[in-house]
Structure 1
Amino acid sequence: MTLESKRNWLLILQIFCLIEGILMCITIVGAIFGAFAIIASNKFKAMKEKDDQTLTEAIKKKDNLGWAVFSIFACGIVGVLGMVFVYFLDTTPDKKDDNIIDI
């Protein structure tokens, strides 16, 4: 894998984390994770903009591995919270149809 393709993957991670962070910041509870997702996006951007030698050394040292792992877990947490929200979305009491007569 060339350095240019690694930079492209960092760009994809940066955009993904930024969108994820913005969407998480819509709610107060999500803002806790959303702020860290935006920070992770900035870390990926900073790593992408390094020169070739520094980028190679940073990849070997796995500098941003923690932020990548955070991004994966944050997606899972937000996904579970989204499913819970959708599950409890229909909280209105069941309305009986007036045309049906119970026997």
Structure 2
Amino acid sequence: MDGLIQQYARVAAAVEEAGRAKDSLTYSAAFVLCAGRDDAEIARRAAAIGREVDELRSNSPAVGTPDEIVDKLGPFLQGGVQRVYLQVLDMSDLEHIEFIAETVVPQLR
């Protein structure tokens, strides 16, 4: 998290040096999404994209149950992230997107 905060500070300083307000940019982050109601559903979605759950969890805060994801995204939002892009790697799993829209997004507003 410290690295993210430092990088955003560097960007803000560069933007100000260029004569713009530091808040004239939207600070964003992108994470691979792998969510489910329980461990079995998370594992099924990980397998569908050829990934291991433990590896995904170590690389993305958008992996787990809805409550886990909200908890893990919290520090990023506090660190300055204004927009989160969730990378859906299994484009045939439209239920995955609906699930996130119904269970995670409302908790982040």
Higher percent of residues as helix: 1
Higher percent of residues as strand: 2
TM-score, length-scaled by structure 1: 0.27
Q: Which has the higher contact order (CA 8 A, sep 6+)?
A: 2
TM-score, length-scaled by structure 2: 0.27
